[in-house]
């Protein structure tokens, strides 16, 4: 008995042989094809998983190595690369295998027979007449080639397509099978097609024609006739459904794959009618863009990025034309659309709107938490996540005196003071604030981050001046003369900065104060005042170098009853001279020497300028000791002339008025007075000198006119004499 494993082995061996050697594949190619190449012929049944193998195409011995056929490794289509001529070669026998690098066969061989069709086979599709072999054997069928008919043929039906012939006695013909009544044969053997054929319904028909004698008896076997329906290009390429929008990242390199278009054509597979090529119509980009933003492979339909840059946020509609017949003239086409959007990447670093902030002045007693400045930054990215910013003080604040405050997602930051300032420690700060993107910046040259510089100037805080008293009081008799010293206003700290004094509300003009020394005097006689009256003014003091820092104090004057005293006597003082512009010297004024009280030591003299406002403006009187005072110019320039300066001298209840005669003049370098000199007698004035000069010039002009007139008349007289009267000049 035969073992079971042997039966299984016997059954599996034929099956393996069948799989190892596929059946021969027949392909037809029209000769002198006028469309685009390569022309796709048919799809090979290669295994789905090629396991790293390579496709090897070989031909018969009479086909050159660089033959007209090839296999597309991506689509597994057999294609022809150039036109074929039936007269040169009517058919080609090819062999397709799948091999490894070392030559080991993984699949195949697949035999392929390529038949080159004659041009007349599909010239118009009207009628294909079968050809009869010249060698005729009696009582046999005359062989016929397959009949090729164009689908949807627009002719008058029934349409004669072939002639069958029995090489024997007179016979009658009839079709043994009638597929849908599409064909018919008459008694003479003419084969007809009754209506239009559709290749999509059926691509090939096998007809059996019987030959019968007059008795209705069949002769031998029927004639089998193949009718092949030729494909007509009547199907428009069908675009794939428009899918979702394709997202491409900004700054993607050229050559990046976008998508692949695979349009379908319902015409015969492998025929020129179903050979589709692609053409890019438009991409809706702005005009003037250099280069192409997208590239399209016309054969495979692969869409890739071009060299032209794309910006984030662009929404682009690609329009691609799918054309059958390999793009040849007369091909049908459809427009396919692909939506592409350019997505944003973090390729922009944030930047400050201004890189230099104007100097900010802060007093050194500014409180912590004070807002110093607000800085604004921008980011050109579109995605909110890419616009998040981080701020920091990069330089200029080693002690942490300042800080930054900002809200997450905000594009502005506040610079605040965190610690107390000190002018002595740091009079100024140069703060460098940097802004960076929270997310990592990609793209060419992201950089270290943008910066902004903030200059902070610290202002020294000087306390306002302080006087030695908060208020002042003085009691004076109503008979006090003008210029009398009442009191002196002084600062509490003698070592403080120099002060400048002024009176604010001296409405009556009774008082005046020395700007530098703070001495308060009576500005005029106290007429109109009565004993018991009180006069209040406000004394204001400010630093000489800081006028904004000032203080004030009240000065209250109490008026007393005037004591009985003799009227002041006038005592002239010998004249002296002072220089103008003012120089560093003055005139010494002394009290009356006949005063017995001074000699007895009963008190010093008091000196004051007279009540005249002009005198008080132009002159200054300073006491030297108890018996003398120093008179100088108060102004830089006083009119040069002799001045009489009244000086009031008082001692106890007695007063004198001295008239000090002072000559103010211009001085030389040695300080000597230069007197004005009058015009010397006998010297001409300017007017007389000009008159003498003009008169002299007029006299000279008249004299010259007389001379030229005389010469002109003499020459005219010589010209009026006859020629013969002119005396001859003898030659010596």
Task: List domains and CATH numbers for the chain.
Answer: 25-117 (2.60.40.60), 131-230 (2.60.40.60), 242-343 (2.60.40.60), 351-459 (2.60.40.60), 471-560 (2.60.40.60), 576-593+602-666 (2.60.40.60)
pLDDT given for residue 402 in this prediction: 93
Instruction: Provide the token pair at 658.
Output: 């001295």
* Bridge pairing between strands 69-71 and 77-80: antiparallel
Residue 124 sits at the vertex; the CA angle it makes with 84 and 278, to the nearest 5 degrees, is 60
Tokens matching residue 11: 């059954």
Tokens of 122: 């599909």
Sheet holding 587-590, edge to edge: 587-590, 628-633, 619-623
> Which pLDDT belongs to residue 599?
42
Per DSSP, what are the bridge partners of residue 185? Answer: 191
**What is the CB-side half-sphere exposure of residue 422 using CA atoms within 13 A?**
5
Reported in sequence order, the residue ranges of 100-158 that DSSP labels E, i.e. its strands, are: 105-117, 147-150
The tokens describing 313, both together, are: 């946020």
* Count of Cβ atoms closer than 10 Å to residue 513 Cβ: 24
SS3 content of the chain, % helix, strand, coil (to 5): 10, 40, 50
**pLDDT at position 537:** 93
Nearest to 61 by CA among 89, 29, 86: 89
Phi, psi of 713 (to 5 degrees): -65, -40
Cβ neighbours, 10 Å, residue 50:
14
- In contact, 647 and 632? CB cutoff 8 Å: no
CB 44 within 8 A of CB 110: yes
- Looking at the DSSP bridge assignments, the partners of residue 70 are 79
**Burial zone of 14 (CB within 10 Å; 0-12 exposed, 13-18 middle, 19+ buried):** exposed
Residues of the chain with pLDDT under 50: 1-20, 61-62, 64, 120-137, 286, 565-573, 594-602, 723-732
What tokens were used for 599?
């000699």
Residue 367 CB partners (closer than 8 Å, separation 6+): 417
Give backbone dihedrals phi and psi of 684, rounded to 5 degrees, phi first: -70, 155
Locus of tokens 């007429």: 527
Structure tokens at 62: 């009479």
φ and ψ of 24, to 5 deg = -65, 140
- Residue 22 contacts by C-beta under 8 Å, 6 or more apart in sequence? 45, 108, 110, 111
Residue 105 in tokens = 């066969």
The confidence score (pLDDT) of residue 680 equals: 55
Q: DSSP E strands: which ranges in 549-598?
A: 550-560, 569-579, 587-590
Predicted pLDDT of residue 2:
40
Three-class secondary structure of residue 172 per DSSP: strand
CA separation (Å) from 201 to 36, 152, 268, 395, 414? 28, 12, 11, 84, 79
Closest C-alpha to 486, from 514, 520, 535 = 520
Grouping H, G, I as helix, E, B as strand and the rest as coil, residue 702 is helix
Q: For 618, list phi and psi in degrees, rounded to 5.
A: -85, -20
Residue 45 confidence (pLDDT): 77
């Amino acid at each position: 008995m035969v073992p079971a494993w042997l039966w299984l082995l016997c059954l599996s061996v034929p099956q393996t042989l069948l799989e190892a050697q596929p059946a021969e594949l027949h392909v037809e190619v029209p000769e002198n094809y006028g469309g685009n190449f390569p022309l796709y012929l048919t799809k090979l049944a290669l295994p789905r998983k090629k396991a790293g193998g390579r496709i090897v195409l070989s031909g018969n011995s009479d086909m050159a190595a660089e033959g007209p056929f090839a296999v597309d490794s991506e689509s597994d289509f057999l294609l022809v690369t150039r036109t074929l001529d039936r007269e040169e070669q009517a058919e080609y026998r090819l062999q397709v295998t799948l091999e490894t690098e070392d030559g080991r066969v993984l699949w195949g061989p697949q035999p392929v027979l390529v038949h080159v069709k004659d041009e007349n086979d599909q010239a118009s599709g009207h009628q294909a007449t079968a050809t009869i072999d010249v060698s005729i054997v009696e009582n046999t069928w005359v062989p016929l080639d397959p009949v090729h008919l164009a689908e949807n043929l627009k002719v008058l039906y029934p349409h004669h397509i072939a002639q069958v012939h029995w090489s024997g006695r007179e016979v009658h013909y009839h079709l043994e099978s009638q597929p849908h009544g599409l064909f018919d044969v008459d008694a003479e053997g003419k084969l007809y097609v009754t209506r239009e054929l559709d290749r999509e319904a059926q691509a090939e028909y096998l007809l059996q024609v019987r030959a019968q004698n007059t008795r209705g008896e069949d002769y031998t076997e029927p004639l089998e006739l193949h009718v092949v329906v030729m494909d007509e290009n009547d199907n428009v390429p069908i675009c794939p459904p428009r899918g979702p929008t394709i997202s491409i990242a900004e700054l993607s390199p050229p050559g990046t794959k976008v998508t692949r278009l695979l349009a379908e054509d319902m015409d015969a597979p492998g025929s020129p009618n179903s050979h589709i090529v692609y053409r890019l119509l438009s991409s809706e980009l702005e005009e003037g863009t250099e280069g192409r933003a997208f590239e399209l492979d016309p054969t495979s339909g692969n869409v890739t990025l071009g060299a032209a840059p794309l910006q984030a946020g662009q929404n682009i509609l690609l329009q691609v034309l799918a054309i059958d017949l390999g793009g040849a003239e007369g091909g049908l086409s459809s427009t396919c659309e692909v939506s592409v959007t350019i997505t944003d990447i973090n390729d922009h670093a944030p930047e400050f709107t201004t890189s230099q902030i104007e100097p900010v002045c802060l007093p050194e007693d500014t409180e912590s938490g004070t807002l110093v400045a607000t800085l604004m930054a921008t980011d050109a990215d579109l995605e909110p996540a890419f616009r998040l910013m981080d701020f920091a003080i990069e330089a200029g604040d080693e002690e942490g005196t300042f800080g930054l405050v900002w809200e997450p997602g905000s594009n502005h930051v506040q610079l605040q003071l965190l610690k107390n300032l000190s002018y002595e420690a740091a009079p100024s700060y140069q703060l460098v604030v940097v802004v960076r993107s929270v997310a990592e910046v990609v793209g060419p040259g992201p950089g270290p981050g943008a910066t902004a510089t903030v200059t902070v100037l610290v202002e020294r805080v000087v306390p306002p001046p302080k006087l030695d008293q908060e208020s002042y009081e003085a009691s004076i008799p109503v008979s006090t003369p003008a210029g009398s010293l009442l009191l002196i206003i002084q600062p509490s700290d003698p070592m403080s900065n120099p002060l400048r004094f002024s009176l604010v509300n001296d409405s009556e003009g009774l008082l005046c104060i020395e700007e530098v020394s703070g001495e308060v005097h009576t500005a005029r006689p106290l007429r109109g005042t009565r004993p018991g009256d009180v006069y209040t003014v406000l004394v204001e003091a400010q630093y000489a170098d800081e006028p904004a820092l000032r203080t004030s104090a009240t000065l209250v004057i109490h008026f007393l009853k005037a004591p009985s005293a003799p009227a002041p006597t006038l005592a002239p003082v010998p004249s002296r001279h002072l220089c103008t512009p003012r120089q560093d010297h003055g005139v010494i004024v002394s009290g009356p020497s006949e005063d017995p009280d001074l000699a007895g030591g009963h008190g010093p003299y008091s000196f004051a300028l007279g009540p005249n406002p002009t005198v008080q403006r132009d002159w200054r009187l300073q006491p030297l000791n108890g018996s003398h005072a120093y008179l100088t110019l108060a102004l830089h320039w006083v009119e040069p002339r002799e001045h009489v300066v009244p000086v009031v001298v008082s001692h106890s209840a007695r007063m004198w008025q001295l008239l000090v005669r002072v000559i103010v003049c211009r001085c030389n370098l040695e300080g000597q007075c230069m007197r004005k000199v009058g015009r010397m007698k006998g010297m001409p004035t300017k007017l007389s000198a000009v008159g003498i000069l003009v008169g002299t010039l007029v006299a000279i002009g008249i004299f010259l006119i007389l001379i030229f007139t005389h010469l002109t008349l003499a020459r005219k007289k010589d010209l009026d004499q006859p020629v013969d009267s002119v005396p001859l000049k003898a030659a010596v």
